[in-house]
Structure 1
Amino acid sequence: MLIDEVPERAVRRAGAAIELPEGLLVLDADSGEFGRMPKPVADAKIRGLSFDGARMVLVGGRGTCLLRLADGEQCWYGIPEERYDEHADLSPDGRTIAILTCDEENAIISLLDPETGRRRDIWSDPGTASHECEIRWSPAGRTIAATYMIWDDEMDDDALSTVVVDAADGRVLAGPFIRTHLLGGWLTADLLSFREEYDDLHRLQRLDTTTGEVITGPTIPGRVWAAVAGRHVHEVDELEDHHAEDTTFYTTDIGFADRRPLFTLQPKVEVRYFFLAAGVSLPPSR
């Protein structure tokens, strides 16, 4: 797919959104075709898509925003004093936004009701939130996984840490796992993927939230961007093909087998973020 030949188009629902330096590539969930669109809000960061792809989740200095793609309507939700919203994710049923926010001392998970604008904190831990962090609802909408930043006394440095909490009351179900970060998120309703920061073997860790067992998987091929319906979405990286002249995406199963091509962007570009709408089928290979 030649990027320069992708037409500009408005979409009502996006199956995927790929942020490039030049703007956004979006997969029209209804037609199955890709289109280009400018960054929707200049001073905000894209953080995800709703389950059906009808809304885009943004964060910025004003707080957290739900952007309706069909007409561009923006619903902004302000920030409590001395807070900063860094990441957000809309629940599968569309009724609650999980926000990874922080104050001067703690990383905080808040739940926000888009109908009323009310938010409540369900979890906090000494630390902060940065662009390297992430928050993701499980597909069933009962649990939330978040990666946040802590101070690691052992390493005498900042470190990412991952925790899984009950969405109802913030009770910690697993973790925190120190020096780890989410890797694509939830493969299934109960299986979460993440990796260790300093694993030279570059291996996947899988957490079974029903048993609490963490399973060390194989070496990760490519750059993992997302996980949906039991499959990982990868981008070919320099370790796989140092001389690649384009940007290629593919999917694999949980064990990184059953590799299937997804699409290729030409020429090679820098992919800043890649988001999927979990309720929209992956595009056919092209």
Structure 2
Amino acid sequence: MGSVDQDWCDTLRLGFWWRSFFTFSRGYEKMKVQRLDRCKDTQKLIPFISAGRLRAESTESFVHGSHLDIWWRCLRCSKVFTQSCRTGLFTTQGAFKTYRLFGAVEDLTLKEWWLTKGHETFGESITTLQVTLYVKRKNSDALEITVDAMQQVSSQLAGKEFGFWLDQICLLNSRQGLLSDAPLSWPIYRSRIALEAMSQLLSIMEIHELIIRNAPQTCLWQIGEQLKLNSKAMTKGDDYPSVIADKHKAMGQTVSSYLKKGRCLVDNAANGLFPKY
């Protein structure tokens, strides 16, 4: 690649690692801090939730870093979903159901989408009652649900919210266990696929799309080296040509594997199956 393309890749790599450092490298710490922050944020919203006057502007922060955020990003990456939203023609019932949930996401930031559509659909899931644990007991139809309840919340509201969460958890346990089975469960949803893994796949897809659009001659191994996706396939200055060729092949296969998995995630999400490779 020439110097201009190299600079372009370097810029994208910097942006990629800047966005993803805390997600990939410090996910556990972020999760703990995020939970504390959201608990404090929820306390501030109690009067508005109790009065039924919760506004989109005050709830947008809850979406960032959630499974709902990842699902939305998947739809942004789906060219088929984008085209279907433009034409109004959907190839599957699942795709149309997803459209009814999210609406069109093309050219919208997450904040813009939440303010115009997201809060209307998913805002009722932000409750004063905080579900901290839910498990289905073995050899029984019983569910164990642990919640944090604020003292200043009325028993009537707490009971209503518990009923809401019980319904969502029952939906999750009666089907495949996908978020798409119970979309309103997004604040408490736990996936077998790590959020960090899905976020990484989407970031790689987004970066690949940008690079190919601006430098179409770029090889997959070059993208992989820029993002350091396979440490064993990174070339060194003293490598023999045959070794370099083998490493380029291995790195290209690594990137191809990431892209294939990411596309499966995106395609399934657009057809109403999320999260699923």
As a proportion of its length, which structure holds more strand?
A: 1
Q: Same fold (TM over 0.5)?
A: no
Higher relative contact order (CA 8 A, sep 6+): 2
| TM-score of the superposed pair, with normalisation by structure 1 | 0.23
| TM-score of the superposed pair, with normalisation by structure 2 | 0.23
| Structure number with bigger Rg | 2
As a proportion of its length, which structure holds more helix?
A: 2
